[in-house]
Amino acid sequence: MMTVAQVRLPEGMVKQVDELVESKMYSNRSDVIRDAVRRFVLEKELKNMIGSTPNTGDSVKEVREIRKKLSKEFKESDNPEKLLEEINNL
């Protein structure tokens, strides 16, 4: 279920959003804003994960847990290719 959230944006930013829609990168303004928020939240989560993994002495297990978490994000993502690109740019 989706909740409606009203957002006020500067005119210039709305023009940039509209350009993304016109270029057919996104279907509508809502898709652009949802993707931007999703990326922001994911980036924050990934940055929190870096350096916060406990050193248990079993780095293989730790990496597997991180991969499991990222795999879940991919499965839930509307655009896994963009998500992968974002992760690679971190």
Reported as a pLDDT band with limits 50, 70 and 90, residue 8 is very high
Residue 76 has pLDDT above 60, yes or no: yes
Scanning the chain, the segments in alpha helix (DSSP H) are 11-22, 29-49, 59-76, 80-88
**Total Cβ atoms within 10 A of residue 85:** 10
Enter the tokens of residue 27: 């279907």
Cβ atoms 53, 62 nearer than 8 A: yes
User: Could you tell me the sign of the dihedral formed by the alpha carbons of 34, 35, 36, 37, in that order?
Assistant: positive
- pLDDT score for 13: 95
Cβ atoms 36, 53 nearer than 8 A: no
Residue 88 has pLDDT above 70, yes or no: no
**Average pLDDT in the 5-12 region?**
94
Every domain of the chain and the residues it spans: 11-88
pLDDT tens, position by position, 13-69: 999 999 999 999 999 999 999 999 988 888 887 777 666 556 667 777 877 887 788
Which residue, chain included where needed, has tokens 């992968």? Answer: 84
